[in-house]
Amino acid sequence: MDMLTKKRQRRYLTEKEQRWLQELVIFDESRDEKALHRLRLEIKKVRALVELAKVQSGKRAGVHFSGMKKMFREAGVIRDAGSQVRYLEERNLLSKEHKDEQTRSIRLAADAFAAHIHLYRKKGKKASRRLKTVMRTIHKGRIHRWYAREIIRTGILLGSSVDDLHEARKTIKSLLYVHKLLPVAITQLIRLNTEYLDRLQESIGQWHDAVVAIIARTEDNPAGKPAVYRECLEKEQAVRALAEDFHRKVHML
């Protein structure tokens, strides 16, 4: 098959919708932070498909996806706060007082999120339903050009300032998510080195976690700050090393 059919796209959206709805239920019942991580993962996959779908549907797909953005963003605030606490605690950069303070703040944010779950579900289902109506079959030529464009964009971001690395990770993950959806005939045409891209996005993620955690709070143990800054620098250097010669490595030889 040398095209991505609208039927396949709609089936994919239905599958993702069922999963993120399930994670909403799990979080509502348990306040399990991992449920928010899984929820965000499913929405990221939807967002990746939307980015590809724009080549056929124009801006409409992006407009319809906006109904999921608030749910995604608020879940991310809670998830990131929890990750920051764990990172700082593991490095003895968080006092018990500040840990308790952060824990209370996270709990309040989780309760606020849960209070809006009905609204998130309603808006998310509406967004999913509308997205299905704008999905169109996408032929291999358009998909190939989309990948070429996004790879060029990613290479530019990787070679720019450190502030652009997180954005580069987002584009890399979109490339990987869409790749799993494509028919084999198209993946063979694109020849994407998914193993390399996965290692690169993971490396950027580790760097970003360290940077965000340091910005959050390090004053509880000033003596530990130099070691953490060195860790950030080392993680950035690891990213730069992996990103070197990106345009050659990104394709399977």
Q: Which residue has the higher pLDDT, 88 or 5?
A: 5
DSSP β-bridge partners for residue 4: 138
The total of structural domains in the chain comes to 1
pTM listed for this prediction: 0.93
DSSP class of residue 192 equals B
Q: Output the pLDDT for position 220.
A: 62
Q: What is the CATH number of the domain that holds 245?
A: 1.40.20.10
Residues 19-33 have pLDDT tens digits of: 999 999 999 999 999
Domain that holds residue 115: 3-249
Instruction: For the beta carbon of residue 67, count every other beta carbon within 10 angstroms.
Output: 19
Residues 103-112 have pLDDT tens digits of: 999 999 999 9
Reduced to 3 states (helix: H, G, I; strand: E, B; else coil), residue 252 is coil
Residues 181-209 have pLDDT tens digits of: 999 999 999 999 999 999 999 999 999 98
- What DSSP string runs through 173-229? HHHHHHHHHS-HHHHHHHTB-HHHHHHHHHHHHHHHHHHHHHHH--TT-GGGHHHHH
